[in-house]
Amino acid sequence: MERIIFARAPVRICDVGGWTDTWFCKAGAVFNFCIDLYSYVRVYPQALSPVIDIISENLDISTEIQDFRKIEYDGTLDILKSAIKRLGIKQGLKIFARSDAPPGCGTGTSASIAVAMIGALSVLNGHHYVNHEIAELAHSLETEELKLQSGVQDQYAAAYGGFNYLEIEYPKVRISQISARPELAWQLEQQMVLVYLGSRSSSDMHLKVIDNYEKGERRTVEAFDALQACPKEMVQAIHRCDIERVGEIMGKNWAAQKALHERIATPRIAELERIAREHGALGFKVNGAGGGGSAVILSATGKEYALKRDVVGAGFQILPFKFNFTGLQVWQK
């Protein structure tokens, strides 16, 4: 029977303190929650062929590497190709990848697929990486191999899973996994509603925020100060099992996030926020940079059903989830 290597890694939501894990911020902090929308990689070694085939099942695209010494980045599944190059894979493979999260969801899917790919290929190489090494390597694929701008929170979330508090001196990260009482996790799962807003492109928005921050523009600097304060406050709220306070911190973070750029809160996002407010939601936050992607609503207790009904009625898509506390998982048969 042919050998198959499997790997999966979670994505994260509700990244309180997001934006502060980037190169221009220098020092920041993030709190995030990992969920069971996974990125999957499946690797079939090919003993009789030197060709490496990579297929994205959910995006319905593929690429072929004829010579591992001549890997080219052309915009087609580059993050997966970069892992092959960086880990020095020199044999034929057939690789299948897919993600539960829809494209442009703002939940760190590209980092999640990179972590899963590294996990699978490390088994192929017979080399075991610990979680922080996998996260660092996944980040380097984007910044060093592909020359892209990338924050550092998503890679650690995918590698570790759980509820995470990250202290950041870019690109270095000190991660603390925050233990939550089971009943708090159950209640948050029941009251958190993940809503898909559609794919978003935020490069222009990023550039403007970076420019304002580097110029010391007062509104932007004050927003970043607020963003940096929220993660530590979330740690205290989780330890106290204070769901109302979790919602307040989400709202505080979202207000600071919106202050960074006028396009972070689109009319469609404002409509979703209005629906949440009409149902007495405890908290609201858009995941990632904003401008689209997805949002988390923290419903008031007992009002989840009516909230979800009206969210769907307004044409939004709800993404069901449970929390993930295992991070990267790799196995083979």
Question: What's the CATH number of domain 5-179+324-332, 3.30.70.240, 3.40.50.10860, 1.10.10.10, 3.30.230.10?
Answer: 3.30.230.10
pLDDT tens sequence across 85-116: 999 999 999 999 999 999 899 999 999 999 99
Which percentage of the chain shows pLDDT scores above 90?
A: 94
How far is the C-alpha of 52 from the C-alpha of 88, rounded, in Å? 13
pLDDT tens sequence across 184-242: 999 999 999 999 999 876 677 888 999 999 999 999 999 999 999 999 999 999 999 99
pLDDT tens sequence across 23-74: 999 789 999 999 999 999 999 999 889 999 999 999 999 999 999 889 999 9
Q: Between helices 218-239 and 203-215, what is the axis angle to 10°?
A: 100
Dihedral, CA of residue 231, residue 140, residue 38 and residue 294, to nearest 10: 50
Helices (H), the chain: 78-86, 109-125, 131-140, 153-160, 182-191, 203-215, 218-239, 243-258, 267-278, 304-313
- Contact status, residue 202 vs residue 286, Cβ threshold 8 Å: no
How far is the C-alpha of 195 from the C-alpha of 297, rounded, in Å? 8
pTM: 0.96
Q: Above 80 in pLDDT, residue 269?
A: yes
Q: What is the mean pLDDT of residues 280-308?
A: 97
The predicted pLDDT at position 26 comes to 79
The predicted pLDDT at position 86 comes to 96
How high does pLDDT run on average in the chain?
96
Which percentage of the chain shows pLDDT scores above 70?
A: 99
The per-residue DSSP string of 118-167 comes to HHHHHHHHT-PPPHHHHHHHHHHIIIIIS-----SHHHHHHHH-SEEEEE
Rounded CA Rg of the chain: 20
Residue 58 gets the label, from left (phi > 0), alpha (psi -120 to 50) or beta, of alpha
Q: Above 80 in pLDDT, residue 1?
A: no
Domain residue limits, the chain? 5-179+324-332, 182-318
Q: Roughly how many angstroms between the first and final C-alpha of the chain, as a whole number?
A: 9
How far is the C-alpha of 111 from the C-alpha of 135, rounded, in Å? 9
Top-level CATH class of 182-318? alpha beta
The predicted pLDDT at position 201 comes to 60
- Contacts of residue 327, defined as CB under 8 A and 6 or more positions apart, other chains included, come to 9, 10, 34, 131, 158, 159, 160, 161, 162
